A and B are shown apart, each in its own frame.
Chain A
């Protein structure tokens, strides 16, 4: 890395702190942007410079492209790191950054736009060799055409918005009678939520597991993978617990999948850190679902087993350096698990509970990492997502990692009036026989909620 560069982190919370920490280790100057709601936040305090870019609503601050560009200009930033969420996968933002002379930490706007269109992503990744579920090659024009395709694929099928994401704009259809209605409803929802009513049809598999491959590509056509993560402990597509390696895949299968992901991303000229997501069916067969053009929330588990700082590699790539690591230098060791502690109430359907923590205590000891933007006495704004802290552990084997995580969560205290967290729920997950034996699937959270909910309901009534 040449000279002293300035990095503006266009994000907030734990990820903004995490990125700034690596910048500091690399000797880079950091600039935080924040809304008025985050004036006293950890990420604003940690950075070398903090700039208030707008009021609390994200569209006026963290999603406000002109404000962020002005802050970058004002602070003399060389690079803009978007973190995850907010503008991280917005091709327009990537394009504006480059046009205004700032290096965007992520892939080019063109590649990002290509992957944001799910029909195009599916076609491109299929052509690049990734396993696909049977489905329509393009957006489906008309219910009649869709019905014909669905009949050819075989039910159940899923109707998905081309511009979809976040679990919205998709409907599972069990048989031909329900197709036309589902098709119309999904298009209407897609138009309302994403401003794009195009949909495509794909075979639907009851996902047993969600796995994803971490990839790093430089600007010179080289790419490596850093193993496979399992993110099957989800609630409504929101991940709660992640781990690596993926227990549902044999080592040779995982290596094959990871290699195909690297080849697919390098084939389309991807630059930076990216994640290729797959579902596994009950037999363990993978199918491509999407590419995430950014750093993932759960990236620390990969860092723990590989010893690679993904943010440092992202920054080096963005500054134009070639990859320093070859695939044979990536040698994952042991098992890492991450638990997300959210300000949500599991007993009330995970409703967010923004409040001010009066006391915050994080775990310590061997092989425990905490990524958080939380400070005692600093309010958790209701405007943003509910992630309070990520507790990450490493151990030589999975059983030890689960025990270490129980210990670490037990040492964690986040309390305050009106503040409810998912800590206790996460401990229930860690205690469930399915999780302990790694035979759980994506229905685990639901089954735990179901078994505990009646008891809680009767206790409250």
Chain B
């Protein structure tokens, strides 16, 4: 596992890694923990691979971050949201039916708690049999999903609330 850092500033990287770490921890602590997770936000990505395959998570995974600007500890306070951010709504860019998955039965584009980067697809609006991608227009963490699959949305309907890092 490693963390790739693109030309971002040190402080930002720290903050983003903190956010990523908490989210990885949230995923790992779920009922169906994955073997491998990669998260990316604003050019900072965090990839975690667990050495044990299937089976319940009985102990927290051991994380090492390279380079290692923070002491990774996925068990510490994953429920504290970043308070430096501002709330931002991702809104519908057209009239139609909202979908949270690429196709019926497929995995959700995003779930609450995920971090997204600008341009990342978070849903689809179906209008006249055209599938129009909904993309995050700001980077941040999905705080709340406001519309579920199958909901008819108007232009401008808020779809998700984002906790976006301030100043972005």
Please give the residue numbers on chain A whose beta carbons come within 8 Å of chain B beta carbons, in ascending order.
36, 51-55, 61, 66-67, 69-71, 74, 100
Q: How many angstroms between the C-alpha atoms of A36 and B92 in the bound complex?
A: 13
B101 within 8 A of A: no
Find the B residue at minimum CB distance from A60.
Answer: B155
What total of chain B residues lie within 8 Å of the partner, measured CB to CB?
A: 12
Are B130 and A67 interface neighbours, CB within 8 A?
no
Are B128 and A70 interface neighbours, CB within 8 A?
yes
Q: For the complex formed, measure the closest distance between the CB of A99 and the CB atoms of chain B, giving whole angstroms.
A: 10
Q: Which of A36, A53, A100 contacts B95 (CB 8 A)?
A: A53
Are A70 and B96 interface neighbours, CB within 8 A?
yes
Q: For the complex formed, measure the closest distance between the CB of B154 and the CB atoms of chain A, giving whole angstroms.
A: 4
On chain B, the residues within 8 Å of A74 by CB distance are 95, 152
Q: How many angstroms between the C-alpha atoms of A71 and B92 in the bound complex?
A: 14
B60 within 8 A of A: no
A-B contacts, CB under 8 A, total? 41
Q: Mark B64-107, 1 if CB is under 8 A from A, else 0.
A: 00000000000000000000000000000011110000000000
Q: How many angstroms between the C-alpha atoms of A371 and B28 in the bound complex?
A: 64
5 examples of A-B residue contacts, CB within 8 angstroms: A52-B157, A54-B95, A66-B128, A70-B94, A74-B95
The B interface, classified by DSSP as helix, strand, loop or mixed, is loop
Q: How many angstroms between the C-alpha atoms of A116 and B63 in the bound complex?
A: 70
Q: How many angstroms between the C-alpha atoms of A66 and B95 in the bound complex?
A: 8
Find the A residue at minimum CB distance from B156.
Answer: A52
On chain A, the residues within 8 Å of B157 by CB distance are 52
On chain A, the residues within 8 Å of B152 by CB distance are 70, 74
On chain A, the residues within 8 Å of B8 by CB distance are none
Known: A53-B95, A54-B94. A69 touches B128 (CB 8 A): yes
Are A66 and B155 interface neighbours, CB within 8 A?
no
Find the A residue at minimum CB distance from B132.
Answer: A66
Are B156 and A66 interface neighbours, CB within 8 A?
no
Identify which of A70, A71, A74 gathers the most chain B CB atoms within 10 Å of its CB.
A70
B35 within 8 A of A: no
Q: Mark B134-165, 1 if CB is under 8 A from A, else 0.
A: 00000000000000000010111100000000
Q: For the complex formed, measure the closest distance between the CB of B67 and the CB atoms of chain A, giving whole angstroms.
A: 44
Are A67 and B127 interface neighbours, CB within 8 A?
yes
On chain B, the residues within 8 Å of A71 by CB distance are 95, 154
